[in-house]
Structure 1
Amino acid sequence: MMRSGLLLFFIGLAACSPPVTKSKAKIEEFRQYLEKSRTDDGVLLESRMLAGSNGLVWENSGKYQGDILLDDSQLEDLVADFAGVSNDNNRNAFVVANTRWPNNVMIFNYASNEFNNAQQNAIRTAMSWIEHFSCVRFRWRSNERVFVRMTGNPTGCYAHVGFSTAHPNRVLNLARNNHCFSHGVIIHELLHSLGFQHMHQTYERDSFVRINWNNIISGQEFAFTRFPRNQVNLHGLPYEYTSIMHYHNQAFSRNRQPTIVPLRSFSGTMGQMEQTSYWDWLRLRRHYNCPGAWNRNSEEIMKKEVERTLPLIKLNLPAPKQGLFTDEDNAYVRALNADTNNEDIVNEEAMDYEDSDNENNNFNEDIGNDNYEN
């Protein structure tokens, strides 16, 4: 099985049902709809949230699937599939394309006056936890051609998905307000930039959820496309209702009734944005082929580390400076790479949280309180 990533960069490619040829008028209507999702409609995120929309902030950000920015290639693939003329051979070639960031390093920048200090701290804190739980690293742009430009447009929280040499100008937008600047939302959008799609689009989803098509806002049905097996990959991990990448159960609802209904019992909240699950972290590690990510005890070790660090995350603290995956000699990395069932090895090397940067303790009080003109 190709291990090129979870719910990757295959935006809007084929649904599993046979293609149905559409009229030219319908095809053009669909194209215009997608084109509109790529433009700035000027509607403030706060206005969308107050308009009675159900679901999460990134579901109400006005882009494809709510928070996905389409590049030219993705838009054309969507239109071709909608028209029923997609070429499977071309798709296979597209699947082969590597959308992981080279050397596991995401290049980014933002203008010096784009975000206030509290907002910059929130971004750095989210990045620190991704670095803590994976081998992914973030580096400020020098002169790299492909990079993520972080912006503060007030219209929503959204991002391009993954790395692309064909479309090097990647964007991750976080409206400068309390909606986008929560820890979970920033992590969600960063995971898009790293190559993740939404959980409900994986090929096996119909065994876990039922889509209530009659409850979906007209024109938003395509946001619930189920991708074929050769276009998505959960990396050997289960479908997860409580993934930070899962839609809310009333996403794009026209009548406040559920659009996604779980078919199995589970604990927690579908579409929760409070914390990144240990399966989310492990999928990221496997997507980027981090050391030990495929070892038999990796799930249990990740689960323990998520439980151990949750108090820090709830306090909006950054990850410890001495990260678990920054030193190959670290006991935690040895545990992931060791062929052992001794799960307690993770506790052999205590970490000194006192050295963590505590200046972010109260950053929530300042989020959104900037002086920028919108």
Structure 2
Amino acid sequence: MFRLVLLSLLVAAVAAGPPVAKSRADIEEYKQALEKTREEDELTLEDRMETNPQANAWENSGKFEGDIYLDDDIMEALVDSYSTGDDSRMAYIRANSRWPGNTVVYEFGHNEFTLEQQRHIIQSINMLQQATCVRFRMRNNNDRNFVRLTGRPTGCYASVGFYQNRGVHTMNLARNRPGQGCFNTIIIIHEWYHVLGFFHMQSTYNRYNYVRIHWENIQRGMAHNFYHYNQNIVSNLRLPYEYGSCMHYGTHFFSHNGRPTISTTRHYGGVLGQTVRVTGWDVWRLARHYNCPGAWSAEAVHKARTTNYEMIEDGTLVEKEGFNPLADELDLIEEEDQE
């Protein structure tokens, strides 16, 4: 997981990646794939879960990278970058991509959620406010830019980062019982992380030190979900790559044959794509992104290593002691053993 410094994707192809040269047919296929993620089809999250029950809810939400809602300007930027292969053309850094005053403004759509569901969403907000300097407040009539929370049955997805000209920022959570589906507390926080300016962990520039992408196992038309960002575009905030992050893809996301689409290059005994905890590193990344007091101090590393916010049976989060190993501290898997 890494800070959104600007909106761009698609670096030059790497070994075992898609071809560098792009034909008109390639570009049109890519554009259509992105357009499809923006369409409101008749499929609900429940329909997709019946077809692909092994997927988690945000992977199965039918949007870009599973759960990212694309605006027109991002859509055009992605197609342009893909067409030219020139990442520098996409490097339009926006200093205001963080929410002004470290405060997310939001509203619940009219009659979208029950009071119980609203309380569950607010619980995720309270956890982020407790752990960081990020704040949330309800929209008033003078607020032009805000997040509208909706409960359409299509899935869990959100806009990424704050944009002054966007107006209504999107966050959708298909209605469910607290703790279930999109109302899994970790999934709600995952979507808040997008709103706050984060993409997915495995999309960062140095990912090939830590994961392999198995392009041959990815569903046709879904390879764009696995491209990654260049170093001049994103920042890891000088924090380590983390397999256990709540923002990491799972091993079988978008697989067409039941085989892994992502594997680790190091011996890791945990779960990729977990939805049971927010790790101390996750919290620290958010604190650094918003320049919270103490976020750049050496003392913060201890809490990042030893603290998790874990979801218990009723869907609430409890702060617990734990151990969060860094990927760099794990032994490399020998190349012949990765096949």
Q: Same fold (TM over 0.5)?
A: yes
1:8 is aligned to 4
Kept after mapping to 2: 8 A contact 1:132/1:319: no
1:135 is aligned to 133
Structure with the larger strand share: 2
Q: CA deviation at 1:232?
A: 1.6
Kept after mapping to 2: 8 A contact 1:161/1:194: yes
Match status 1:208 vs 2:210: yes
2:116 to 105, 115, 118: 118
2:294 to 292, 295, 307: 292
State the secondary structure of the residue aligned to 2:137: strand
2:271 is aligned to 269
User: What CA distance in whole angstroms lies between the structure 2 residues aligned with 1:85 and 1:228?
Assistant: 12
Comparing 53-62 with 135-144, greater Cα deviation is found at 53-62
User: What CA distance in whole angstroms lies between the structure 2 residues aligned with 1:79 and 1:130?
Assistant: 34
User: What CA distance in whole angstroms lies between the structure 2 residues aligned with 1:280 and 1:215?
Assistant: 29
Q: CA deviation at 1:113?
A: 1.3
Deviation readout 1:121-167 (Å, 9 max, x if unpaired) = 11000000000111001110112111111100101000000100122
Relative to structure 1, is the Cα distance of residues 288 and 244 closer, same or farther in structure 2, using a 3 angstrom cutoff? Answer: same
Match status 1:150 vs 2:152: no
User: What CA distance in whole angstroms lies between the structure 2 residues aligned with 1:54 and 1:125?
Assistant: 27
User: What CA distance in whole angstroms lies between the structure 1 residues aligned with 2:258 and 2:273?
Assistant: 15
Deviation readout 1:329-358 (Å, 9 max, x if unpaired) = xxxxxxxxxxxxxxxxxxxxxxxxxxxxxx
User: What CA distance in whole angstroms lies between the structure 1 residues aligned with 2:238 and 2:263?
Assistant: 23
Kept after mapping to 2: 8 A contact 1:10/1:74: no
2:13 to 10, 17, 24: 17
User: What CA distance in whole angstroms lies between the structure 1 residues aligned with 2:299 and 2:287?
Assistant: 14
Q: CA deviation at 1:213?
A: 0.4
Q: CA deviation at 1:62?
A: 0.4
Deviation readout 1:169-197 (Å, 9 max, x if unpaired) = 21000001231001111010011000010
Kept after mapping to 1: 8 A contact 2:9/2:228: no
Q: Name the count of aligned residue pairs.
A: 311
State the secondary structure of the residue aligned to 1:95: coil
Q: CA deviation at 1:35?
A: 1.6
1:193 is aligned to 195
User: What CA distance in whole angstroms lies between the structure 2 residues aligned with 1:258 and 1:301?
Assistant: 32
Which letter maps to 1:43? L
Which letter maps to 1:36? K
State the secondary structure of the residue aligned to 1:223: helix
Pairs within 5 Å for 1:47-66 = 47-52=47-52, 54-66=54-66
1:173 is aligned to 172
1:228 is aligned to 230
User: What CA distance in whole angstroms lies between the structure 2 residues aligned with 1:85 and 1:204?
Assistant: 19
What's the % identity of the aligned pairs? 42
Structure with the larger helix share: 1
Pairs within 5 Å for 1:237-248 = 237-248=239-250
2:107 to 109, 113, 117: 109
Q: CA deviation at 1:12?
A: 4.8
Q: CA deviation at 1:17?
A: 2.9
2:44 is aligned to 44
Structure 2 alignment gaps of length 5 or more: 320-339
User: What CA distance in whole angstroms lies between the structure 2 residues aligned with 1:104 and 1:44?
Assistant: 34
User: What CA distance in whole angstroms lies between the structure 1 residues aligned with 2:65 and 2:7?
Assistant: 10
Kept after mapping to 2: 8 A contact 1:188/1:244: yes
Q: CA deviation at 1:9?
A: 6.0
State the secondary structure of the residue aligned to 2:212: strand
User: What CA distance in whole angstroms lies between the structure 2 residues aligned with 1:203 and 1:16?
Assistant: 11
User: What TM-score does the superposition give when structure 2 sets the normalisation length?
Assistant: 0.86
Kept after mapping to 2: 8 A contact 1:16/1:226: no
Kept after mapping to 2: 8 A contact 1:13/1:78: yes
User: What CA distance in whole angstroms lies between the structure 1 residues aligned with 2:315 and 2:174?
Assistant: 19
Q: CA deviation at 1:57?
A: 1.2
User: What CA distance in whole angstroms lies between the structure 2 residues aligned with 1:91 and 1:97?
Assistant: 15
Kept after mapping to 2: 8 A contact 1:99/1:163: yes
2:162 is aligned to 163
Larger radius of gyration: 1
Kept after mapping to 2: 8 A contact 1:54/1:251: no
Which letter maps to 1:117? L
State the secondary structure of the residue aligned to 2:55: coil
State the secondary structure of the residue aligned to 2:43: coil
2:332 is aligned to none
State the secondary structure of the residue aligned to 1:230: coil
2:322 is aligned to none
Structure 1 alignment gaps of length 5 or more: 321-374
Kept after mapping to 1: 8 A contact 2:57/2:156: yes
Relative to structure 1, is the Cα distance of residues 56 and 293 closer, same or farther in structure 2, using a 3 angstrom cutoff? Answer: same
Root-mean-square deviation over aligned CA pairs: 2.2
Comparing 8-17 with 278-287, greater Cα deviation is found at 8-17
User: What CA distance in whole angstroms lies between the structure 1 residues aligned with 2:85 and 2:263?
Assistant: 31
Which letter maps to 1:173? N
